[in-house]
Amino acid sequence: MTQAKLSGFHHVAINVRDLDAAVRWYGEVLGFRPLIPWDTGTFQRRILRHPGGTVLALSRHDHPDGETRFNERVTGLDHLAFRVDTRAELDAWAARLTVAGIEHSGVCVTPEMGFTLIAFRDPDGIQLELYLAEDAPDR
């Protein structure tokens, strides 16, 4: 059988309660820039791109469930981790989050796996991580 290869993620889409506030937050805190809007009869979506190339879509669904706060303990997204290539970049992110007034874990090493990361939450309570890629071996 021929190997079916994946070359990475194209984008990740997450649901938010306040689309304008989320676009502003992801821009100001993480540096994402608006790429294109995509609205339908049932949702509004803003597709953002980070200068590093990562694409993130923020969606607001026109449904009563759209008001529900995020919960990583139900089926679906647990958290979203962004790759950071060096410890110096991770330290710079820690400083940036602190200056922005974002509560975060600081640079920490997970005791179970030994990975270096910073954990924090977006305005909807979605856990985000900045993950040191050099600590993530191919397994």
Residue 72 lies in a domain: no
Query: What span, in angstroms and rounded, lies between the C-alpha atoms of 24 and 74?
Result: 27
Residue 114 lies in a domain: yes
Give pLDDT tens digits for 55-90: 999 999 988 877 777 777 777 888 999 999 999 999
> Tell me, what CATH number does 45's domain have?
3.10.180.10
Could you tell me the residue range of the domain that residue 118 belongs to? 78-139
Q: What is the pTM of this model?
A: 0.86
- Judgement on whether residues 91 and 57 belong to the same structural domain of the protein: no
Residue 71 lies in a domain: no
Q: How many domains does the chain have?
A: 2
Residue 73 lies in a domain: no
- Judgement on whether residues 107 and 136 belong to the same structural domain of the protein: yes
Give pLDDT tens digits for 38-57: 999 999 999 999 999 999 99
Tokens of 100: 């922005």
The percentage of the chain sitting over the pLDDT mark of 70, rounded to a whole number, equals 96
Distances (CA, A) of 33 to 29, 43, 48, 54, 95: 11, 20, 5, 10, 21
